[in-house]
Copies of this chain bind each other. A is one copy, B any other.
Amino acid sequence: MARNKYPEQTVKRIIDTALQLFMEKGYEQTTIQDIINALGDLSKGAIYHHFKSKEDIMQAVSDEMDKDSTVRIAALRNRKDLTGLQKMRQLAMDSMDSDTQATLLSAVPNILKNPRFLAEQIYSGDRVVAPLIEEFIREGIVDGSITTDHPKEASQILILLLNIWLNPLVFSCTQEELLAKFRYLQQITTSMLGTPILDDSILERLDKYRQLTCGSPASSVPHPTK
């Protein structure tokens, strides 16, 4: 195989391919040979030239997954025209139709076989996303749009509930169950931050979100073939 003049393209191809396979089959179940086969035109030596171990590939994959949520939040961060509350609302909105979420949801069969990704989600939520949310909350406290005496803890719980508890990929559920969860989450977050942050416009996205994981749009609507 001819040598690539732009090795970063090769690196990216490896990461993308590994991401796909790790999501589909799980990290442990994916073999380096699987990645090689999926790439088609690279060898073992090529991979181990760019990454020092399989774990190293996983690290790069995790970073890649974190990337788009952090850049989205970073963009929000610089907006001077929004109150803390408005930034929070946008954030919650975004968290359900980001590219990563979509591809992740459509590719991962069930996260039960992917404890690595579950752990990654939990920790990146707490370490990278929550601190930024905390910032928004503190802004909201200053500009008067949010009320709480525990911004740090609130941000952690918020992201945990949004990313994990409400995620049908983690806790599979029917449409009605998801709706009930969402309603209760509205209630709780309202009492946490002193004002509603989750409005019903998220609901549509939420159900698309769920459909991706479960397939059937609803189990509550019996539709005998007419």
Contact = CB atoms under 8 A, between A and B. Distances in A.
The A contact surface, by secondary structure, is helix
Interface of A: 28, 111-112, 115-116, 118-119, 122-123, 126, 150, 152-154, 156-157, 160-161, 164-165, 170-171, 180-181, 183-185, 187-188, 191-192
B153 A164 contact: no
A183 B150 contact: yes
Contacts of A115: 115-116, 118-119
7 contacts: A115-B116, A150-B180, A150-B183, A153-B185, A156-B171, A160-B161, A160-B165
Contact of A119 (B112, B161, B188, B191): B112
Contact of A160 (B112, B164, B180, B187): B164
Contacts of A188: 157, 188, 191-192
